[in-house]
Chains A and B, each alone.
Chain A
Amino acid sequence: MSNLTNTNRRDFMKLAATAGGGVLLGFHWRNADAKPAVLDAAAEAAAPSIEFNSYLAVAPDGKITIFSPNPEVGQGIKTAFPIVVAEELDVDWQQVHVAQAPLDTVKFQRQVAGGSGSIPHSWKRLRQAGATARQLFINTAAQRWGVAPEQCTTESGAVLLKGSKKKLTYGELAEEAAKMPTPTDVPLKDPKDFKLIGSSIRNVDNQDIITGKPLFGLDFTREGMLYAVVERPKAFGMKLKSVDSAAAKAVPGIVDVVTFDNSVAVVGKSTWQVMKARKALKIDYEKEAALESTSDHDRIFDELLNSDKNEVRRKEGDVDKAFKSAAKVVKSEYQCPFLSHAPMEPMNFFAHVRPDGAELIGPTQTPERAQGEAAKFLGIPKEKITVDMTRMGGGFGRRLAADFVMEAVKISALTKAPIKLIWSREDDMTGGDYRPAVKYRFEAALDDKGNMIGYKLRGAGINAGNPTRENNFPAGAVDNLLIDSAEHKSAITTGPWRAPITNFLAAAEQSFLDEVAQAAGKDPIQFRLELLEKAKTAPAGDVRYDVDRMIAVTKLAAEKSNWGKDKTKNQGFSLYYSHLSYVAQVGEVEMKAGKPELTKIIAAVDCGIVINQSGARQQVMGGVVDGFGHAMYGSLSFTDGVPDQSNFNKYRIIRMQEIPEVEVHFVDNGIDPTGLGEPALPPTGGAVANAFFKATGKRLYKQPFIEGLSGKVES
């Protein structure tokens, strides 16, 4: 059976073998200053890997391979990273072959898909590595031709001698180049000369995706591999008491039933057999913590918001005084439910624990965490554990955790077999690690001119940690400010969900600022621009965002949406800075047959230089659709610790008929690029809520919005 991960690995090894007769060039990942090396089987064995950090290979036959070290979860990194390397290397995109590298943080340092952090982390080093390789080939050709390197230039993967027709391809130079000293202080391209960066390049895995090649963790198979499913407590707050597995073991195809922690794993020869046998398990659970319902959380939120035991996150000026002297006070509360990440590919992982080490293969946003936790559990050095990353069928933060990896490791260790763990959709949706439910209370004090002189935000969350982002706008723009928070510890597990915390905080805050602008009698955009002007000219404490970039995206969104010009349009504005990128959005609601419908969202985005137009637009459009869909429909509720929704029949994900038109505009400012996996999502809920308000006169204080919209709007 074919198997992608092995194909990747074979690619990796094949290149090394090619070099056995020839050359494989490696460049130091961290600062591009390591010596290139000739790799053959013996040399590879002899050379400590720390001295050879390969992510770029040129074979004598001219094949150029760029290794993409970061996990691909749909954010497009497997396409974007190689574009940057190829740009500085000065090769044509058609010449480049991209391969996923396995986990090796000695070689690659940061191999994480999270926090929209890959691009800002690696931008410079990717360029340096490509540029250093290019200079090395120039130096090599210059030496062969007996000319100064300055007389040479490059084009399409070849060195050219200026003023002549002499030309040597990188492939032809590879072997000789490997013996040359590594150039240092290599200049980078002037961005105006970029050919690949800023163009539109398709996903490098498109052809494999559209022909159904095995790419994903769930597609991985290994001869002799067994399948495993795990039965976990139905309710958060219950623990395992006893297991009767006799009936399950009698089901055809079942090889073993093993118990660990609060889990019972059924192991067998096919997915369907283990899924069926699992239903025959007889398990008793007992209570170990409170079995909470959503109604409990509603009560707990109010207790926390009214308590005086909150942790202060940021304080400026004298808030009490400001509110006492206020001409007007605005106060509102906003609430969101738990959400499931619900990636289309449910959690799964392959593990083969052997006496001498372990092999882990599958979809993970944090391969290093998987390796570390497995090493700790097995009591072996992490070097004995290999991790191969498959393409991921989405993650949205769920695959930052390693719980499912550890289940696979434990089952393999207990059964001494290579196993692939599969979570059903129901397991995935009821298995925790949710976006935490949160409630906010906002208060604003306005003076008689409509200036915001005081601002209070109190956040209360269920296992949400700090549910505020205390240094985000409008912090820095208000003289008297108090941001604090409280947390309720629950048995319901939570984790980062695409744009953690800000995925709802931004919507709540941007809706509230719309309310404040209304109370101040000001246009919502003008109101924000005044605050930004204040943050620029008379900042209140630290300002941790770039005010000019905030202003620029605001103005771009206003311009592209013809803000306020067409009085028949119900427009709502939102602005948010997260994960180093700046995004402003305008939502438009039309009344159709008496019902409000969100028809369009215009997004103005500043992520600095756009590396790949196609990929970047996809991220923004997808982020907007995700933000809109979850704000409208997303809800995971609980009854006595049990999630009320367990599959897509009850847990509503946005569908094609429900999407608005989405328009994307990028700011062109030449600033070093930042990530886009998350930043487009947070502002959407605010733009949507504010546009609905414009159309209906009703504020939406609680997600999912569909509950507030249905029934309350006359049709």
Chain B
Amino acid sequence: MAQYNLKINGQTYKADVEPDTPLLWVLRDSLGLVGTKYGCGIAQCGACTVHVNDSATRSCVMPVSAVGDSKVTTIEGLSEKGDHPVQQAWNEVDVPQCGYCQAGQIMTAAALLKRNAKPSDKQIENAMNGNLCRCGTYHRIREAVKVASTKTN
């Protein structure tokens, strides 16, 4: 076991875990930030997507020992009031079916819009292709990313 001071959502969290523990499980089990989901454990589905220094990152394959001083943002910290433009768009377009993958989808979309405020359809598809939605809400995800890109932060 080792002590880690993690910078998450603008706060410092302490975690006493083994160094190989994936960030995903530190968030979920140690810190109670369960908005980040487990889907595959091998970076294939995107349900566990968080931002590490503003980049969309699969937390299921990132050992906590590799996080260091990086700034981590989870779905809980994407906005204070749950009104990030991407979150607003997700509600307006009524994207979720079961909803399980949507936190990861939203984090991927938010990272995309941060580096490319007006992505084309192709750019949206390329960015979102790593996030699986078993319910098949892809049409509305694509639409919601576009709606979000029209909102100012």
Closest to A73 in B: B98
Closest to B96 in A: A209
In the complex, are the beta carbons of B94 and A270 less than 8 A apart? no
Verify if B28 is at the interface (C-beta below 8 Å from A): yes
User: A614 and B94 in contact (CB under 8 A), knowing A210-B82, A621-B136, A656-B125?
Assistant: yes
**For residue B91, which residues in chain A have a CB less than 8 angstroms away from its CB?**
202, 206-207, 210
**For residue B30, which residues in chain A have a CB less than 8 angstroms away from its CB?**
270
Residue-wise, chain B 57-86 has the 8 Å CB interface mask toward A (1 for contact) of 000000000000000001110100010000
In the complex, are the beta carbons of A272 and B17 less than 8 A apart? yes
Q: How far is the CB of B113 from chain A (nearest CB, A)?
A: 15
User: A657 and B21 in contact (CB under 8 A), knowing A202-B94, A206-B96?
Assistant: no
Q: How far is the CB of A550 from chain B (nearest CB, A)?
A: 25
Verify if B52 is at the interface (C-beta below 8 Å from A): no
In the complex, are the beta carbons of A648 and B29 less than 8 A apart? no
**For residue A7, which residues in chain B have a CB less than 8 angstroms away from its CB?**
none
| Cα(A653)–Cα(B138), bound, Å | 12
| Cα(A648)–Cα(B128), bound, Å | 16
Verify if A205 is at the interface (C-beta below 8 Å from B): yes
Verify if B4 is at the interface (C-beta below 8 Å from A): no
Contact among A227, A649, A656, A662 for B141, CB-based, below 8 A: A656
**For residue B125, which residues in chain A have a CB less than 8 angstroms away from its CB?**
656-657
Residue-wise, chain A 326-358 has the 8 Å CB interface mask toward B (1 for contact) of 000000000000000011111000000000000
In the complex, are the beta carbons of A212 and B97 less than 8 A apart? no
Verify if B149 is at the interface (C-beta below 8 Å from A): no
**For residue A74, which residues in chain B have a CB less than 8 angstroms away from its CB?**
97-99, 135
Report B1-55 residues with CB < 8 Å from chain A CB: 1, 17-18, 20-22, 25, 28-30, 32-42, 44-45, 47
In the complex, are the beta carbons of A203 and B99 less than 8 A apart? yes
Closest to B133 in A: A344
Q: How far is the CB of A228 from chain B (nearest CB, A)?
A: 13
Report A622-646 residues with CB < 8 Å from chain B CB: 622-626, 629
Stretch binding the partner chain, chosen from A279-287, A388-396, A697-705:
A388-396
In the complex, are the beta carbons of A648 and B44 less than 8 A apart? yes
| Cα(A272)–Cα(B91), bound, Å | 33
Closest to A648 in B: B44
Verify if A709 is at the interface (C-beta below 8 Å from B): no
**For residue A346, which residues in chain B have a CB less than 8 angstroms away from its CB?**
38-39
**For residue B135, which residues in chain A have a CB less than 8 angstroms away from its CB?**
74, 394, 622, 626
Verify if A654 is at the interface (C-beta below 8 Å from B): yes
User: A648 and B136 in contact (CB under 8 A), knowing A210-B82, A345-B100?
Assistant: no
Report A301-348 residues with CB < 8 Å from chain B CB: 342-346
User: A221 and B32 in contact (CB under 8 A), knowing A211-B87, A618-B137?
Assistant: yes
| Cα(A94)–Cα(B141), bound, Å | 25
Closest to A681 in B: B136
**For residue A197, which residues in chain B have a CB less than 8 angstroms away from its CB?**
none
**For residue A654, which residues in chain B have a CB less than 8 angstroms away from its CB?**
136
Verify if A169 is at the interface (C-beta below 8 Å from B): no
| Cα(A339)–Cα(B131), bound, Å | 20
User: A209 and B99 in contact (CB under 8 A), knowing A203-B94, A618-B140, A656-B142?
Assistant: yes
Contact among B96, B102, B134, B141 for A343, CB-based, below 8 A: B134
Closest to A654 in B: B136
User: A394 and B34 in contact (CB under 8 A), knowing A272-B25, A425-B40?
Assistant: no
User: A625 and B100 in contact (CB under 8 A), knowing A202-B94, A211-B75, A425-B40?
Assistant: no
**For residue A203, which residues in chain B have a CB less than 8 angstroms away from its CB?**
94, 96-97, 99
Contact among A73, A391, A393, A629 for B37, CB-based, below 8 A: A393
Residue-wise, chain B 122-153 has the 8 Å CB interface mask toward A (1 for contact) of 00011011111111111111100000000000
**For residue A210, which residues in chain B have a CB less than 8 angstroms away from its CB?**
75, 82, 87, 90-91, 96, 102-103, 106
In the complex, are the beta carbons of A624 and B136 less than 8 A apart? yes
In the complex, are the beta carbons of B18 and A272 less than 8 A apart? yes
Residue picked from A75, A216, A392, A425, most chain B C-beta under 10 Å: A425
**For residue A648, which residues in chain B have a CB less than 8 angstroms away from its CB?**
39-40, 42, 44-45, 132
Contact among A211, A276, A391 for B98, CB-based, below 8 A: A391
User: A425 and B39 in contact (CB under 8 A), knowing A206-B90, A207-B82?
Assistant: yes
Q: How far is the CB of A154 from chain B (nearest CB, A)?
A: 28
| Cα(A218)–Cα(B75), bound, Å | 16
**For residue B101, which residues in chain A have a CB less than 8 angstroms away from its CB?**
344, 393
Q: How far is the CB of B94 from chain A (nearest CB, A)?
A: 4
**For residue B47, which residues in chain A have a CB less than 8 angstroms away from its CB?**
344
Residue-wise, chain A 191-222 has the 8 Å CB interface mask toward B (1 for contact) of 00000000010110111011111111011010
Closest to A623 in B: B136
| Cα(A276)–Cα(B133), bound, Å | 28
Residue-wise, chain A 386-408 has the 8 Å CB interface mask toward B (1 for contact) of 00000111111000000000000
Residue picked from A346, A393, A422, most chain B C-beta under 10 Å: A393
Report A662-683 residues with CB < 8 Å from chain B CB: 662
| Cα(A589)–Cα(B37), bound, Å | 36
In the complex, are the beta carbons of B136 and A393 less than 8 A apart? no
Closest to B32 in A: A1
Report B92-122 residues with CB < 8 Å from chain A CB: 94, 96-103, 106
Verify if A599 is at the interface (C-beta below 8 Å from B): no
Closest to B45 in A: A648
Verify if A378 is at the interface (C-beta below 8 Å from B): no
| Cα(A343)–Cα(B142), bound, Å | 21
Verify if A143 is at the interface (C-beta below 8 Å from B): no
Closest to A218 in B: B38
Q: How far is the CB of A204 from chain B (nearest CB, A)?
A: 10
**For residue A629, which residues in chain B have a CB less than 8 angstroms away from its CB?**
136
Q: How far is the CB of B32 from chain A (nearest CB, A)?
A: 4
User: A344 and B128 in contact (CB under 8 A), knowing A210-B87, A211-B76, A618-B137?
Assistant: no
Closest to B1 in A: A252
In the complex, are the beta carbons of A216 and B82 less than 8 A apart? no
Residue-wise, chain A 1-35 has the 8 Å CB interface mask toward B (1 for contact) of 11000000000000000000000000000000000
In the complex, are the beta carbons of B90 and A656 less than 8 A apart? no
User: A656 and B129 in contact (CB under 8 A), knowing A74-B135, A270-B29?
Assistant: yes
Verify if A299 is at the interface (C-beta below 8 Å from B): no
Q: How far is the CB of A461 from chain B (nearest CB, A)?
A: 24
| Cα(A273)–Cα(B30), bound, Å | 12
Q: How far is the CB of A423 from chain B (nearest CB, A)?
A: 10
| Cα(A210)–Cα(B29), bound, Å | 20
User: A211 and B132 in contact (CB under 8 A), knowing A343-B98, A393-B99?
Assistant: no
In the complex, are the beta carbons of A212 and B36 less than 8 A apart? yes
| Cα(A270)–Cα(B24), bound, Å | 12
**For residue B17, which residues in chain A have a CB less than 8 angstroms away from its CB?**
270, 272
Q: How far is the CB of A77 from chain B (nearest CB, A)?
A: 11
Q: How far is the CB of A711 from chain B (nearest CB, A)?
A: 24
In the complex, are the beta carbons of B25 and A271 less than 8 A apart? yes
Could you jot down 19 A-B contacts, CB within 8 Å? A2-B32, A74-B98, A205-B99, A206-B94, A210-B91, A210-B102, A212-B34, A212-B76, A216-B99, A272-B17, A343-B98, A344-B101, A395-B98, A425-B42, A618-B140, A621-B140, A624-B136, A626-B135, A653-B134
Q: A203-B97, A344-B133, A425-B41 are in contact. List 5 more A-B contacts (CB 8 A).
A: A74-B98, A203-B99, A212-B103, A622-B135, A649-B44
